[in-house]
């Protein structure tokens, strides 16, 4: 017989989120290998692969794949706790600060215009904002080699906070 979990329920929740995020990341990574070849590659295809988030984004990873004419992505990142803080200076402080994680999945279409990519995405899963599932958003992305910056576009057409990442593979 398996003994009931007697530890901290927050720790148990973090373990479950991490397991779920790993499963989702593995599934999309597999799907990325099933990418359908097109006769004319799009500038949007340069986003397919494994991404590492860079500051100002929270630490984490994303995997983007292409299935027919749509792109799919999943991510896992660590989120800062809600407590007031100063910038962490040691690995131990960072571990405490980023002890809460979140995972999500989306599908999107991509258009290119004036050196920018415009993504129309639909949320498929969000562990930390379940109310986003089924909603749509627009993201504007500027890619320079293996690095990219992106902004969610608000209803007023203005850019929100910037995110950043680096393509690993």
Asked if residue 95 has pLDDT above 50, the reply is: yes
Express each pLDDT in 58-91 by its tens digit. 889 999 999 888 899 999 888 766 544 556 677 7
- The pLDDT of 30-42, averaged and rounded, is 50
What DSSP line would sit under 124-146, residue for residue? Answer: EEESS-GGGTT-EEEEEEEEETT
All domains in the chain, ordered by first residue: 9-167 (2.40.128)
Whether the CA torsion 130, 134, 138, 142 is positive or negative: it is positive
Strands 116-126 and 147-153: what pairing? unpaired
Task: Tell me the whole-structure pTM to 2 decimals.
Answer: 0.66
pLDDT class for 103, splitting at 50, 70, 90? confident
- How far out from the chain centre does Cα 131 lie? 17
Give the pLDDT of residue 80.
Answer: 63
């Amino acid at each position: 017989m398996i003994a009931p979990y007697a530890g901290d329920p927050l720790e148990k929740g973090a373990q479950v989120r991490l397991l779920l995020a790993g499963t989702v990341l593995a599934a999309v990574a597999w799907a990325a290998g099933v990418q359908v070849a097109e006769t004319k590659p799009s500038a949007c295809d340069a986003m397919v692969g494994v991404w590492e988030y860079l500051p100002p984004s929270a630490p984490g990873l994303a995997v983007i794949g292409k299935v027919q004419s749509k792109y799919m992505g999943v991510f896992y990142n660590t989120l800062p706790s809600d407590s007031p803080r100063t910038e962490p200076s040691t690995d131990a402080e960072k571990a405490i600060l980023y002890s809460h994680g979140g995972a999500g999945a989306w599908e999107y279409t991509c258009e290119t215009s004036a050196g920018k990519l415009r993504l129309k995405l639909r949320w498929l899963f969000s562990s930390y904002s379940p109310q986003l599932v089924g909603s749509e958003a627009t993201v504007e992305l500027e890619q320079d080699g293996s690095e990219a910056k992106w902004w969610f576009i608000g209803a007023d057409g203005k850019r929100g906070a910037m995110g950043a990442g680096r393509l690993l593979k």
